[in-house]
Amino acid sequence: MIELNGVTREYAGHGSTVRALDHATFDIHTGEWVAITGPSGSGKSTLVNLLGCLDRPTSGELKIDGVDVSTMSSGDLNRFRSDKIGFIFQQFHLIPYLSAVENVMLAQYFHSMTDENEAKMALEKVGLGSRISHLPSELSGGEQQRVCIARALINNPPILLADEPTGNLDATNQKIVANLLGELHRYGHTIVMVTHDPEMAALAQRKIALSHGKVFCHPTSAARMVRLQR
């Protein structure tokens, strides 16, 4: 369960203060798939950074699984992040000199202990069992995103934060990734996905729209959920 209560994030710069997120108050339930939408500069990235424990609110309370992360030390926040959250990035962010399996193992390295077999299994799960020793430069965009998903899953985090996961992919790969996310949701992962794409947003149970840092929540679309689960 993710709870936001009056969360505000302000940035200071050039003699003025910019309020990127303004008193956001909402919950995301365990196992829910939420899409965060909104135009550029609406505060989507700020929200994802806060939910991903990469940033702290200026004011307000942000609780994940009952723990207030806004008051945690950097070290504790690192630990908490690697335990609870898996990241899927629009630009994949794979280490260029590590193979696919080593990129997955990197998340294990910073979490606990590396296990090659587990990393291979994660890659098999995303359909890349035959590409484990390939470098990112030898993989297509879709394959790189799947490595990124395998890396996000390897420590079995309950929450997956996906920031424009299909933003750099063609239609075929977009479908593959969308199906993978659907599958992960069925396995019980909470998915928070930032997207500009209405089709991707439609796959989520609920939309959270942002405009000028303010949050507008929408109810779940039951019809779309049924379609997704098929």
Partner 1 sequence: MLASKLTMTHLLRRSLIHRRARSLSALVALTVSAGVATALLTLYAGLDAKLHHEFRSFGANIVITAPTTSALPANALAQVKTAAGDDALAAAFGYAVATTDRGTPVVVSGTDFAAVKKLDAWWSVDAWPSELDTNAALLGQRAANFVANEHEVKLTFAGKPLVLHGVGRLKTGGDEDSRIYMPMAAFTSWTGTGTSVIEVQVPGGAAKVEAAISRLQHALPGMTVQPVRQLVEGESRIVDRTHTLMYAAVMLIALTVGVSVLATLSASVLERRRDFALMKALGGSQAQLIALFLLEALLLALAGVVAGYIVGSALAWAISEGNFGTATLPRLGVLPLVLLLNLAIAVMAALFPARVLRGLQPAALLKGE
Q: Which residues bind partner 1 (CB under 8 A)?
A: 45, 48-49, 52, 54-55, 74-75, 78-79, 81-83, 87, 89, 91, 93, 95-99, 101-102, 105-111, 114, 116, 132-133, 151, 163
Q: What is the DSSP string of 173-203?
A: HHHHHHHHHHHHHHTT-EEEEE-S-HHHHHH
Six token digits for residue 229: 């689960």
For residue 58, give the DSSP letter. S
Q: Dihedral of the CA atoms 8, 149, 175, 124 (nearest 10)? A: -160
Residue nearer to partner 1 on the CB measure, 77 or 225: 77
- Shortest spacing between CB 10 and partner 1, in angstroms: 15
- Shortest spacing between CB 141 and partner 1, in angstroms: 15
Nearest to 135 by CA among 144, 146, 148: 144
Exposure on the CB side of residue 116, measured as CA atoms within 13 A: 4
- Shortest spacing between CB 152 and partner 1, in angstroms: 9
Residue nearer to partner 1 on the CB measure, 74 or 229: 74
- Shortest spacing between CB 86 and partner 1, in angstroms: 9
The rounded distance, in Å, linking the Cα atoms of 49 and 108 is: 21
Residue nearer to partner 1 on the CB measure, 45 or 173: 45
Q: How buried is 224 (Cβ within 10 angstroms: 0-12 exposed, 13-18 middle, 19+ buried)?
A: middle
Residue nearer to partner 1 on the CB measure, 116 or 183: 116
- Shortest spacing between CB 20 and partner 1, in angstroms: 11
Residue nearer to partner 1 on the CB measure, 106 or 202: 106
- Shortest spacing between CB 186 and partner 1, in angstroms: 25
Q: Are strands 67-68 and 85-88 parallel, antiparallel or unpaired?
A: unpaired
- Shortest spacing between CB 226 and partner 1, in angstroms: 34
Q: Where are the alpha helices (DSSP H) in 85-215?
A: 100-111, 116-125, 141-153, 171-186, 198-203
Residue nearer to partner 1 on the CB measure, 74 or 130: 74
Residue nearer to partner 1 on the CB measure, 111 or 175: 111
Considering Cα of 212, then 215, then 221, then 227, what sign does the dihedral take? positive
